[in-house]
A and B are shown apart, each in its own frame.
Chain A
Amino acid sequence: MIEALSHNMTASDPWLILLVVVPLLSAPLCILLRSGIAAWSVATAVSWVVFAIALYLLNTVMESGTMIYRIGGWDAPWGIEYRLDAVGAFVIVIVAAIGAVVMPYARQSVAAEIPAERHYLFYAMMMLNLSGLLGIAVTGDAFNLFVFLEISSLSTYVLISLGSDRRALTAAYRYLIMGTLGATFYIIGVGLMYQMTGTLNISDLATIMPAVAETRTILAAMAFLTVGISLKIALFPLHTWLPNAYTFAPSVVTIFIAATATKVAVYILLRIVFTVFGQVDIFAHFPIQPVLMVMAIAAMFLASLSAIWQENVKRMMAYSSVAQIGYMVLGVALATETGLTGSIVHLFNHAIMKGAAFMAIGAIIFATGAVTIKDLEGIGRRMPLTMAAFVVAGLSLIGVPLTVGFISKWQLVSASLELNMWPLAALIVLSSLLAIVYVWRIFEVAYLRQPHITEHNPKIVPLSMLIPTWILALAGIYFGANATFTLDVAHAAARQLMGGL
């Protein structure tokens, strides 16, 4: 399988472009339909089609290697090429899978949280967002990547601002400012590289880079890129936009962006560090390794500590995300095959566990309107199925064996031990102990306190919300008990990244 990954670049597979074009075109279709239910039907159908395409692409990439599509038949570097390798394929499967699970869930949740006249706009924005995120992972062009980054970011700002709490507007505005800064930094970085290399094609950039790597311009480009991407990743201390954005966005948006957007940003980081600069000894030229490592560790601890003190459950999970992003970036900073495998597999694992957690929270909000810890008293007895799914997700955040979190932790600690970095291994383990504290705060309140006596019982959570929640929760157990598939793919991706192109 691994050997097959190497070179089979002649085939030009149209599914590569359809993966992006189908959701992109469905957005205006949603608007033309002008009906919430019709838009939802289109969006759901599209999300499933996209998931099927993504699975097909992953399968093809794993079997016969990197796939290429030349837009307009123009060869790179003159034309824009789409290029999908193992990392990209894994990322599109993550994004598409979450999309496919979240869309059925969306109908009831959105109906409860967003005014009916905006529903079709909401689904249009979801489709734009989906196509932007997928586009980032398939494009082989650094500028085209920027375009998709902006498509996904702008639609995210709109989606967040649709939250029913008025603070959603300021949260969206804040993210708009920070996100635009990030995207601008990225494009400045790309511009500087273009100045030195005369190309925007990523593989072309990689080939030319060694000749110009030691110039100040490239040094500046690297600095802009790192900061810009870190903003989009929400790497500590550039994470300040994230907690409010996650807290005040509509439930469905929180689920979707928490499970996908930051993962795609990590993908960009991987692409820049290991592909664009793949043939340069990047760590010798730029102090990127210590910077990323320190920030990652700070995120793991400080964000977890912040999570412990939160009273709003969505906010708690948002801080938990910042901490988990620390793990992903840590694996990148280790820059070994095992470390990268840990990072990449954690993209998948975290998408599953955080998706399940936010889905369960969304269902609780749907049924009771509750978001603070205090509101959750006795919720375990009133909503046993929803809360049980949250328990699975919470245990996964801790990294209990038989959940996906354990796999990520295993891989990252192994990577640190391989490098004889004992203190780092200890820090990873210690920070996961912090997760016990905040997760157990919720468990205790939900199961060991008496429910509030209120006149109305919680609304019954519809199956269209419960089933997707449980699909993710069970996936969290399945891929935690049997991680050979995810680890194989992640490992193949890591090898490819480490081997340059």
Chain B
Amino acid sequence: MAFLSTFLTQADMIQLAVVLPLIGGLIVLWMGERNANLREATSLLTAVAEFIVVAGLTPDVLAGARPSVDLFEMLPGLSLTLTLEPLGQLFALVASGLWIVNTIYSIGYMRGNHEHGQTRFYVCFTIAISSAIGIAYAGNLLTLFVFYEVLTLSTYPLVTHAGTVAARQGGRVYLGILMSTSIGLFFMGMLWTYNITGTLDFTLGGILAGKIYGPELAVLLFLYMYGIGKAAMMPIHRWLPAAMVAPTPVSALLHAVAVVKAGVFSVVKVIVYIFGLDLLVESRADDWLIFAACFTIIAASIVALRQDNLKRRLAYSTISQLSYVIMGAAILAPISVMGAAMHIAAHAFGKITLFFAAGSIYTAAHKTEVSQLDGIGKRMPWTMTAFAIGALSMIGLPPTAGFISKWYILSGAVETQNALAILVIIVSTLLNAAYFLPIVYAAFFKEQKPRNESDPYSKYDNHGEAPVGVVLALSFTALGTLTLFFWPDVPLGLARALVGG
């Protein structure tokens, strides 16, 4: 990867990281349905190239480089700016790395299910990835907001891909909640910030110290936390289950990784770089945020417990896990913020594995409900083993990545003697186990119940594993979940750099 830096400066590389997916998208559009194989090859190549570019920047960030580049001046004195910093690099690595796996998976899934409009699907995907990278490298709040909105808009066609009544309904909820929170609250918070500080740059230690006091600070925090609807804190979480009408690769990469992580990433970013940990520690303006996050963690887990649809259960699990990140940031101890950053990566690997498994089950067996999964582990050993690993990571057990991040968040809670946070982590761990382990148990130890003859899908009862691309992808991410436990150096290094050594 070093060869890239011989003829491209760091600034070029950052810009390239944002633009590259778009170029790929244009080529995909040009190929169209006529050259389906070339089109898919382009998607895959773009994803690989994107990861190489992003990964090539990692050593620089770890070495302390923070290059910045202005794209253009949008408003007088306010430019769209890309800046390299550790947290963004972590998010970009996760998003671009998993994009490769997801592309392989998409090809298997979309072809296996004979989906329509595949060109549109891949093009929108590239725009979504480009905006996710834009969010990751955003150098100021305006840039982040711009890419945040582009991400919402570019994922809308993916959510409504099926074009059915259910898809339209889901799309309305998705767009309605995400747009109204971002325009109604996030936008206001941003303009308020700009009005009192005269800047929107992400600055270590925050930009608000000494500019705003008391309850107003808590209100501003509220505007951000609920304006960033992608973080799915209750009660603005409903868009996420609604988004599950999308094809599974979309749910997997976008609604387990790129979109929701863009949400919690923005939350951490705003807390660390706009408010600053010290300001919030002093003012205690974020006390309510811990409560809100704790409530979401527990409530979403309880809802997940009662979902029979597998994707919906995973969606509520995501809502719960996202609030771990928010809680980790809201505890305000450097070590818990580190845990929050780490959890962005850990949850991404675990949850994408779970979604891949759900899609794999759908493709091979045409089953969507938890109650149908008895004995499926014997027919699909690879898929369900990967599922089990993903589930362990959600619960936070070793040897999976989820253990590490939870450990750091818990350490932060202990350090600050936050009894509520400690209690919530314990209870939610039990709840996670309660809604994941029975699935794993039933899959491997119960006998398969054949479907009724009248069920049109009963002919699939004698199924085997899913297509090879699908199995490859989910095995890879499951392996990644384990790898991150044994070698967490890169994400931990970035997380540590975020809180300053």
Binds A, one of B39-47, B69-77, B383-391: B69-77
- A71 an interface residue at 8 Å Cβ cutoff? no
Alpha-carbon distance A429/B186, docked complex (angstroms):
11
Chain A, residues 413-457, CB within 8 Å of chain B (1/0): the string is: 110011000000110011011001000100010011110000000
B474 / chain A contacts, CB cutoff of 8 Å: none
Please judge, given known A-B contacts A414-B194, A440-B175, whether A433 and B76 are in contact too, CB under 8 Å.
no
B171 / chain A contacts, CB cutoff of 8 Å: 444, 448
B73:A484 contact, CB within 8 angstroms: yes
A447 / chain B contacts, CB cutoff of 8 Å: 157, 160
Binds A, one of B145-153, B397-405, B436-444: B145-153
Chain B, residues 136-166, CB within 8 Å of chain A (1/0): the string is: 0000000001100110010001001001000
B187:A444 contact, CB within 8 angstroms: no
- A395 an interface residue at 8 Å Cβ cutoff? yes
- B290 an interface residue at 8 Å Cβ cutoff? no
Alpha-carbon distance A133/B163, docked complex (angstroms):
46
Chain B, residues 38-74, CB within 8 Å of chain A (1/0): the string is: 0000000000000000000000000000000000111
Please judge, given known A-B contacts A414-B191, A436-B175, A448-B168, whether A429 and B73 are in contact too, CB under 8 Å.
no
Interfacial residues of chain B within 192-223, with CB under 8 A of chain A in the complex: 192, 194-195
CB distance from A22 to the nearest CB of B (A): 34
Please judge, given known A-B contacts A402-B150, A430-B184, A433-B183, whether A448 and B76 are in contact too, CB under 8 Å.
no
- A481 an interface residue at 8 Å Cβ cutoff? yes
A448:B160 contact, CB within 8 angstroms: yes
- A8 an interface residue at 8 Å Cβ cutoff? no
B192 / chain A contacts, CB cutoff of 8 Å: 417
- B176 an interface residue at 8 Å Cβ cutoff? yes
- A15 an interface residue at 8 Å Cβ cutoff? no
Looking at chain A's contact residues, the main secondary structure is: helix
- A501 an interface residue at 8 Å Cβ cutoff? no
- B133 an interface residue at 8 Å Cβ cutoff? no
B188 / chain A contacts, CB cutoff of 8 Å: 413, 425-426, 429
CB distance from B194 to the nearest CB of A (A): 7
A401:B175 contact, CB within 8 angstroms: no
A433:B73 contact, CB within 8 angstroms: no
Return the contact of A413 from the options B72, B80, B163, B187 (Cβ within 8 A).
B187
B176:A436 contact, CB within 8 angstroms: yes
B187:A429 contact, CB within 8 angstroms: yes
- A483 an interface residue at 8 Å Cβ cutoff? yes
- B167 an interface residue at 8 Å Cβ cutoff? yes
Please judge, given known A-B contacts A401-B145, A401-B149, whether A432 and B183 are in contact too, CB under 8 Å.
yes
B153:A417 contact, CB within 8 angstroms: no
Please judge, given known A-B contacts A414-B195, A440-B175, whether A482 and B73 are in contact too, CB under 8 Å.
yes
Please judge, given known A-B contacts A481-B72, A484-B75, A487-B75, whether A399 and B183 are in contact too, CB under 8 Å.
yes
- B417 an interface residue at 8 Å Cβ cutoff? no
Alpha-carbon distance A296/B350, docked complex (angstroms):
52
- A407 an interface residue at 8 Å Cβ cutoff? yes
Return the contact of B75 from the options A398, A410, A440 (Cβ within 8 A).
A410
Name the residue of chain A whose CB is nearest to the CB of B195: A417
Alpha-carbon distance A140/B448, docked complex (angstroms):
88
B184 / chain A contacts, CB cutoff of 8 Å: 429-430, 433
Alpha-carbon distance A401/B168, docked complex (angstroms):
24
B187 / chain A contacts, CB cutoff of 8 Å: 409, 413, 429
CB distance from B230 to the nearest CB of A (A): 15
CB distance from A442 to the nearest CB of B (A): 13
Name the residue of chain A whose CB is nearest to the CB of B176: A436
Please judge, given known A-B contacts A410-B191, A430-B184, whether A483 and B146 are in contact too, CB under 8 Å.
no
A399 / chain B contacts, CB cutoff of 8 Å: 183
Interfacial residues of chain A within 369-418, with CB under 8 A of chain B in the complex: 395, 398-402, 407, 409-410, 413-414, 417-418
B172 / chain A contacts, CB cutoff of 8 Å: 440, 444
A425:B163 contact, CB within 8 angstroms: no
- B179 an interface residue at 8 Å Cβ cutoff? yes
- A488 an interface residue at 8 Å Cβ cutoff? yes
A444:B149 contact, CB within 8 angstroms: no
Apart from A413-B191, A436-B176, 13 more pairs, CB < 8 Å: A398-B183, A401-B150, A417-B191, A425-B188, A425-B191, A433-B184, A436-B180, A440-B175, A448-B168, A449-B163, A481-B74, A482-B72, A491-B76
The 5 tightest CB contacts between A and B, nearest first, are A401-B146, A417-B195, A484-B73, A401-B149, A413-B191
Name A's B-contacting residues (CB within 8 A): 395, 398-402, 407, 409-410, 413-414, 417-418, 425-426, 429-430, 432-433, 436, 440, 444, 447-450, 481-484, 487-488, 491
Name B's A-contacting residues (CB within 8 A): 72-76, 80, 145-146, 149-150, 153, 157, 160, 163, 167-168, 171-172, 175-176, 179-180, 183-184, 187-188, 191-192, 194-195
Write 6 A-B pairs (CB below 8 A) sorted by A numbering: A409-B187, A410-B191, A417-B192, A433-B179, A447-B157, A481-B80
